[in-house]
Amino acid sequence: MITTTGLTKVYPARGREVTALDGVDLHVREGEVYGVIGQSGAGKSSLIRCVNLLERPTAGTVTVDGQDLTALAGRGRRAGKELRQARSRIGMVFQHFNLLSSRTVKDNIELPLEILGVSGQERSRKALELLDLVGLADKAKAYPAQLSGGQKQRVGIARALAGDPKVLLSDEATSALDPETTRSILQLLRDLNQQLGLTVLLITHEMDVVKTICDSAALMKKGRIVESGTVSQLLATPGSELAQELFPVGGQASGPGRTVIDVTFHGEAATQPVISQLSRTYNIDISILGAAMDTVGGNQIGRMRIELPGRYDENVVPVGFLREQGLQVEVVDDEQAAAGSAGVPAQAATPALVKEGAK
């Protein structure tokens, strides 16, 4: 639904240039909620504003619903009209609501339809329908000053849906809200995604947003996407920085001659007593150094850092047992892993060693 290829944005700044986007390749599938996460200055806002061409890219292409928007930019009056029509199918939700204080809630929602030349009767019908959809049917005649922050954002979402978009862009839509209101807005976005078949691209610096509603995610740093994929894929990827940020665990070995590993639980394995089974099966004492569990997309997912007695080469079979249960296992002390596998990387060597131990 949304594809960027080699997307680059360079801003002039006091005689020098600042590269906000550096060759970004992004692919958002139809009907999914995709989160782009990163710290301030990573390029997130530039990315989302280039997707609907509020900012024109310096280089690269943006394709939305099969239409190359960059091909329409700056190519005469006819192309400009086509670009405006294409933009009308892309809804945008802003961090600070951007509501007109002199207009009622209903009139704020009607504004984009008014610009598009929709008749007054149709505008009114559509606005009331959208207010009901976002749970504000009783606020049609209220003014923005009479609303809470969460209610204002619901109006902003309703306004973004006025043109019946296929794509909804969210620019830090919950960062100005308290935690409880944030959860309600995120649930609304997920409900709209499912009810209307909307494709949602959101940017955020909050990991909880990704955990709560995102199907896929990307991590941005210095104008580049350094990791991307479905949330389940990222959690199953050894060394994934995004997975570590989503489910941070800590803890160090209690002494020499101990093996510390990170275990990622997802799918059916997340509900099984795997650690207690490991302890009973191999008669070993296991120390839990840290753990982080949560629900992502309706599924329980988490990571746990545990310590096993003995060096890595003494724990090859127990580690293999965990992997056979469908768990992702990473050895924290890479030197131990390398030594235990005679110089072969732990991730590659362990399966073969496990089979030998099982025999």
Domain match, 229 and 252 both:
no
Contact 129, 162 (CB under 8 A): no
Query: What average pLDDT does the structure give for the chain?
Result: 85
Predicted confidence (pLDDT) per residue in 30-60, tens digit: 999 999 999 888 999 999 999 988 889 999 9
Q: Which amino acid is at 230?
A: T
Lowest average pLDDT, out of 130-134, 137-141, 174-178, goes to 174-178
Domain match, 227 and 265 both:
no
339 has a pLDDT exceeding 80 = no
270 has a pLDDT exceeding 80 = no
Q: Which amino acid is at 249?
A: V
Residue indicated by tokens 């909620």: 33
> Which of these three, 192, 208, 235, is where a domain ends?
235
355 has a pLDDT exceeding 60 = no
The pLDDT score that the predictor gives to residue 80 is 65
Look up the pTM and report it. Answer: 0.81
The pLDDT score that the predictor gives to residue 286 is 93
DSSP for 17-54, written as a single string: EEEEEEEEEEEE-TT-EEEEE--TTSSHHHHHHHHTTS
Domain match, 227 and 114 both:
yes
Domain match, 40 and 62 both:
yes
Domain match, 11 and 137 both:
yes
Contact 144, 72 (CB under 8 A): no
Q: How far apart are CA 38 and CA 285, in angstroms?
A: 39
Give Cα separations from 295 to 107, 203, 258, 343 (angstroms).
38, 20, 31, 38
21 has a pLDDT exceeding 70 = yes
Q: How far apart are CA 304 and CA 3, in angstroms?
A: 35
Domain match, 153 and 215 both:
yes
Share of the chain above pLDDT 90, in %: 54
Indicate which CATH number applies to the domain containing 33.
Answer: 3.40.50.300
Q: How many CB atoms lie within 10 A of CB 257?
A: 10
Indicate which CATH number applies to the domain containing 265.
Answer: 3.30.70.260
Q: How far apart are CA 26 and CA 151, in angstroms?
A: 32
Structural domain span for residue 317: 247-358
Q: How far apart are CA 8 and CA 10, in angstroms?
A: 7
Q: Can you tell me the mean pLDDT for 198-213?
A: 90
Domain match, 64 and 209 both:
yes
Structure-token pair, residue 138: 């009783």
Lowest average pLDDT, out of 93-97, 108-112, 142-146, goes to 93-97
Give the total number of structural domains in the chain. 2
329 has a pLDDT exceeding 50 = yes
Lowest average pLDDT, out of 11-15, 81-85, 187-191, 354-358, goes to 354-358
In this structure, what is the dihedral angle of CA atoms 84, 87, 93, 96, given to the nearest 10 degrees? -30
Predicted confidence (pLDDT) per residue in 286-318, tens digit: 999 998 887 776 677 888 899 999 999 999 999
Predicted confidence (pLDDT) per residue in 155-169, tens digit: 999 999 998 999 999
Print burial letters for 50-59: b (CB count within 10 Å at least 16), e (below 16). Answer: bbbbebebee
